[in-house]
């Protein structure tokens, strides 16, 4: 789990390039609701990054929880979340979709979740329903590293 005491002025872990205080903190602190499925997706990635398991349960559609609990989300080993790449997002009425790739390390091994996620707006709130997994797309050796270190992938996390 990352440091829960993240500096509100630091760049948001959701990779939006905005300060955390102006981005996902307003959703985590419940002073605002996400306006779009992409905002909810980013805030959920940030919650995974920070270990805010109650937020993850609260923003998961109750009909799709399948018994998932905060305790389940806290089970070791926990991934070290690195970055989020939103590939596409769309919204039509009370349903929306976000395709993303979330990078993490688990036991020192780099991996990614590549998912097409579905969202539903229920009583004015966007909620995650389910996702369809896709094969992760690895960067090329000379691409920027997924951890956003500024180094090339081959010189950083590919090792």
State the pLDDT at residue 1.
Answer: 43
Token reading at 42: 């980013």
Determine the Cα–Cα distance for residues 129 and 9; give it in Å rounded to an integer.
Answer: 31
Report how far apart, in Å, the C-alpha atoms of 67 and of each of 27, 38, 62, 72 are.
24, 25, 9, 9
| φ, ψ for residue 146, nearest 5 deg | -65, -20
Radius of gyration (Cα) for the chain, nearest Å? Answer: 15
How is the chain split into domains, by residue range? Answer: 20-155
- Do 140 and 153 form a contact (C-beta atoms < 8 A)? yes
Query: How do residues 114-140 score in pLDDT, each as one tens digit?
Result: 999 999 999 999 999 999 999 988 888
- CATH no. for 20-155: 3.10.450.50
List average pLDDT for each run of 10 residues in the chain, which is 159 residues long.
72 95 96 97 97 97 95 92 96 98 93 97 97 91 88 85
pTM of the model: 0.91
């Amino acid at each position: 789990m990352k440091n829960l005491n993240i500096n509100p002025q630091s760049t948001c872990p959701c990779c939006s390039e905005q300060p955390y205080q102006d981005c996902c903190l307003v959703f985590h602190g419940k002073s605002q609701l996400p306006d779009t499925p992409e905002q909810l997706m980013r805030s959920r990635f940030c919650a995974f990054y920070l270990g805010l398991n109650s937020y993850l349960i609260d923003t998961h559609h109750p009909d799709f929880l399948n018994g998932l609990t905060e305790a389940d989300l806290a089970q070791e080993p926990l991934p070290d979340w690195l970055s989020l790449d939103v590939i596409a997002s769309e919204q039509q009425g009370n349903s929306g979709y976000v395709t993303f790739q979330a990078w993490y390390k688990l036991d020192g091994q780099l991996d990614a979740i590549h998912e097409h996620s579905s969202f539903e707006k229920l009583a004015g709130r966007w909620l995650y329903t389910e996702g369809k997994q896709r094969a992760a797309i690895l960067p090329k050796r000379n691409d920027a590293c997924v951890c956003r270190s500024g180094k090339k992938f081959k010189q950083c996390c590919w090792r």
